[in-house]
Chain A
Amino acid sequence: MITVKDLHKSFGDLEVLKGINAEVKESEVVCVIGPSGSGKSTFLRCINLLEDITSGEVTIDQDVINDPKTNINQVRSQVGMVFQHFNLFPHKTVLENITIGPVKVKGMKEEAAKEIALQLLEKVGLSDKADAYPESLSGGQKQRAAIARSLAMEPKVMLFDEPTSALDPELVGDVLEVMKDLAREGMTMVVVTHEMGFAREVGDRVMFMDEGVVMEEGDPQQIFEDPQNPRTQEFLSKIL
């Protein structure tokens, strides 16, 4: 479903990604872990071209997304993205946050989009917040609303960029619960996270990134219990 070949990304002279190769299959949940500054968020942002790709190739379902001929808006509408800081639109209600994509990008009727939005809000446990503005929600509620906003576009893939890092500890659980449900339903997911418990329980595969490369990858059990690379061992010993 997603194929990344020799992906390089530089900001000026600073090379953040130094040749990433990765493959994500349909319905797979891949968790990306690693120390901060390792390039894991940049890697994720390259997958829907929020960052320009310096060299290499990212393919989503046959479409080479960094080919200038590819309609990037089309691609982005099929790739959901959930941000660390939620990035809900503060001037729109929760419902409007969710319907804007389907209405403006897909040309869906307002009524039909509203129906989908209400279903999604029920799914993430926010039925009573449809008409609320984001500022009145807690962090966990904001993130669940943001997940609903992404899902409204019926994406083939969902990207999560540290979705629980900005949350108070007691609010993390609800968000992870929603993500687990998605994984169970067969959503293809790439999750940059510091939640090792989540990676272990839900991840089909774990990628450990450091210094702009994938140092090690494998199934969660192997990575967490029997890491091979010394950098992985060091990282895990610090956080577990």
Chain B
Amino acid sequence: MLEALMDSAYIKSLPFLYEGLKLTLLITIVGLFLGFILGAFTGLGRLSKNGFIRGISTIFVEVVRGTPILVQVLFIYFGISEDLIGVNISGLTAAIIAITINAGAYIAEIVRGAVHSIDKGQYEAGRAVGLTERQTMRYIIWPQAFKRMIPPLGNQFIISLKDTSLFSVIAVGELVYQGRQYYNATFEVFETLVMVCIIYLMITIPTSVILRRVERKLDV
């Protein structure tokens, strides 16, 4: 029984899928990190008093949220890198750029909503004490807003993690791509896809559990 299991595709696909998992995590984590920076600037940009900054931030968010991420990555990989600037960027780079831009747009809305939700009196109290606008943002508004961003950011992590599966179309060797390679060679489709799902769930379920705990602790 055990021997049969060890010999089955469930187990034998694992080393292969593990290689894909590494890339999936790399794209997700780097993409989200850069996406957070992009999103923080864009989100604050949407709250800017400067109409130009507000305008480009809004256009960015609307365009990215209004188009499928699959189209975005095709655009980055084939459209821009090959057609427009004539330089080939690797699939991995295109994937990270796509997650950065896509998560950036959603995180911008998270940042905007969180900052916006802080009582106006907090800003006024900061200014009344004599803090500059920047100091008020940094010491008073941002720390409170960031706390409120944690649950939706965790949610975004799960969404972006799953979005990386689309990058198999540009031959990035992430989890789904590796799975497809494996079952194309062995024809063990069912077993392989079960393992792919289990691996995703092993990341997403603990993330959800941790998030719920954090949420309860922060009471947000």
Contacts and interface: CB of A to CB of B under 8 A. Distances in A.
Contacts of A74: 130
B125 interface: yes
Interface in A76-100: 76-77, 79-81, 83, 85, 87-91, 100
Contacts of B143: 91
Contacts of A101: 129-131
Contact of B122 (A48, A73, A79, A87): A87
A74 B144 CA distance: 25
Interface in B30-67: none
A129 B139 CA distance: 22
B122 A89 contact: yes
B132 interface: yes
A232 interface: no
A91 B144 contact: yes
Interface in B112-159: 119, 121-122, 124-132, 135, 139-140, 143-144, 147
A104 interface: yes
Contact of A76 (B121, B122, B128, B144): B128
Contacts of A153: 129-130
A105 interface: yes
Contacts of B140: 89
Nearest to A50: B124
- B-side binding surface: helix, strand, loop or mixed? helix
A149 interface: yes
B129 A50 contact: no
Contacts of A91: 143-144, 147
A150 interface: yes
B131 A73 contact: yes
Contacts of A77: 129-130
Contacts of B122: 87, 89
A51 to B, nearest CB: 10
B132 A73 contact: yes
A87 B136 CA distance: 13
A166 to B, nearest CB: 11
21 contacts: A48-B128, A50-B127, A50-B128, A73-B127, A76-B128, A77-B130, A81-B124, A83-B121, A83-B125, A83-B128, A85-B121, A87-B125, A89-B125, A89-B126, A90-B144, A105-B129, A105-B131, A146-B125, A149-B129, A150-B128, A153-B130
Which 7 A-B pairs give the minimum distances between C-beta atoms? A77-B130, A87-B125, A81-B128, A87-B121, A105-B130, A101-B129, A76-B130
